[in-house]
Amino acid sequence: MKPMSTPNSDQISAIVRRMVRECCALNGHAGPLPTSPADLFHSPAAKALKQEIIRAGRKLWQRQYVDGNGGNISARISPQYVICTPTLCSKADLDEDDLSLVDLNNRQIVGARPHTSEILLHLEIYKIVPRARAVIHCHPVHATAHAIAGVVPQGNLLPEQEVFVGPVALAPYETPGTPAFARTIRPFAKRHNTILLANHGIVCWADTVTHAEWYTEVIETYCRTVMMASQLRSPLPEIPPEKIPDLLAMKKKWGLPDARFQEESESEAVPAPEFTSPDGMASGLNQAVLEELVSTVTAQIARFLDSKHEKCG
């Protein structure tokens, strides 16, 4: 009989997060459940996501990662529905009335303004990566320069890049907004949270809108730094190979994907996010408090399992 493998921290945290949300719902903190897509779109959980999208949009514009009406942001609020930004709107000018609710088949369910024409790219990621809860597409200059040149930046140069992003994929060019364009990320999305889009820009996915926006900053800073460092010295000296496993252990602990991880079997795969209510959140529980609780309990469970494993070994 094959021995049972010890679950990793990402699997544990997914289970803990689900249990916490269920406990909140049983204790009456989740509030009344939305009974329609319109109710869902106007729920407290949706309002929190909308505000997070607006904040991320302004950060992208302030950092010059988008210009004109470029870029788009989405957040998954339930297994069926996604909140996304509109077409033809500067990310600096977003407000809640600009956003809309779409389903995974690209049907706009609620919203006064037409949704982004590039939502197909986002929906493809949500279908391929069930644990993805937010997607950002934008055009930061230095990362986009690499995408135009068809050059994947050299790896193993900065710890932050290796932990939060890791090896970068380059998807081939297709006309933006088309199904063919969305399909270009299929070979990469599961094992890369950040993808260069040839002759276009980048796309990042994460568990929150804020984290997806962080990854845009990490990859843009990395590409800029590599370009500058390459003018000083070439080839660039990499982090010692024997130190890379330490960084990979950190990102595995935090549940971040990496192309260097062995392909997980179906039984070991990270569970897809479960939604204990149509709005997908325990809206009465502050997100920061939730994550702190999940992190603490996960660490305690991991230590317990490690100690048991050592005794059995």
CATH number of the domain that residue 119 is part of: 3.40.225.10
Residue 260 lies in a domain: yes
Question: For 129-157, how does the pLDDT look when each residue is reduced to its tens digit (9 = 90+)?
Answer: 999 999 999 999 999 999 999 999 999 99
With a pLDDT cut of 90, the percent of the chain lying above it is: 71
What is the residue-averaged pLDDT of the chain? 86
Q: Cα(284)–Cα(26) distance, rounded to whole angstroms?
A: 12
Residue 241 lies in a domain: yes
Distance of CA 103 to the CA centre of its chain: 18
Confidence of residue 214 (pLDDT cuts 50, 70, 90): very high
Q: Which residue has the higher pLDDT, 31 or 294?
A: 294
Instruction: Tell me which residue range forms the domain holding 302.
Output: 9-312
Confidence of residue 297 (pLDDT cuts 50, 70, 90): confident
- The pLDDT of 262-270, averaged and rounded, is 45
DSSP character at residue 98? G
Please write down the long-range contacts of 249-256, taking CB distance under 8 Å and 24 or more positions apart.
Answer: 250/163, 251/162, 251/163, 251/164, 251/166, 252/8, 252/9, 252/10, 253/8, 253/9, 253/10, 254/9, 254/10, 254/163, 255/8, 255/9, 255/10, 255/13, 255/14, 256/163, 256/164, 256/166, 256/193
Is the pLDDT at 280 greater than 50? The verdict is: no
Confidence of residue 271 (pLDDT cuts 50, 70, 90): very low
Q: 273-308: string of b/e by CB count within 10 Å (b at 16+)?
A: bebbbbbbbbbebeeeebeeebeebbeebbeeeeee
How many of the other CB atoms lie within 10 Å of CB of 199?
14
Q: What is the pLDDT of residue 311?
A: 57
Q: Which residue has the higher pLDDT, 282 or 196?
A: 196
Lowest mean pLDDT among 9-13, 28-32, 62-66: 28-32
- The pLDDT of 118-138, averaged and rounded, is 97
Q: What is the pLDDT of residue 278?
A: 35
Residue 258 lies in a domain: yes
Q: Cα(102)–Cα(62) distance, rounded to whole angstroms?
A: 27
Q: Cα(298)–Cα(167) distance, rounded to whole angstroms?
A: 27
Q: What is the pLDDT of residue 243?
A: 97
Closest C-alpha to 216, from 198, 201, 199, 204: 204
Q: Which residue has the higher pLDDT, 273 or 263?
A: 263
Q: What is the pLDDT of residue 132?
A: 96
**Number of helical (H) and strand (E) elements in the chain, helices listed first:** 10, 8
Residue 224 lies in a domain: yes
Residue 4 lies in a domain: no
Contact (Cβ atoms closer than 8 angstroms) between residue 135 and residue 85: no
Q: Which residue has the higher pLDDT, 196 or 16?
A: 196
How many of the other CB atoms lie within 10 Å of CB of 44?
14
Q: What is the pLDDT of residue 301?
A: 84
Residue 215 lies in a domain: yes
Q: What is the pLDDT of residue 296?
A: 73
Question: For 185-201, how does the pLDDT look when each residue is reduced to its tens digit (9 = 90+)?
Answer: 999 999 999 999 999 99
Residue 1 lies in a domain: no
Domains in the chain: how many in total? 1
Residue 2 lies in a domain: no
Task: Find tokens 């809108």 and name the residue.
Answer: 209
Question: For 215-224, how does the pLDDT look when each residue is reduced to its tens digit (9 = 90+)?
Answer: 999 999 999 9
Q: 137-176: string of b/e by CB count within 10 Å (b at 16+)?
A: bbbbebbbebbeeeeebebbbbeebbbbbbbbbbbebbeb
Q: What is the pLDDT of residue 265?
A: 38
Q: What is the pLDDT of residue 210?
A: 97
Lowest mean pLDDT among 73-77, 113-117, 290-294: 290-294
Pairing of strands 100-103, 194-197: unpaired
Q: What is the pLDDT of residue 223?
A: 98
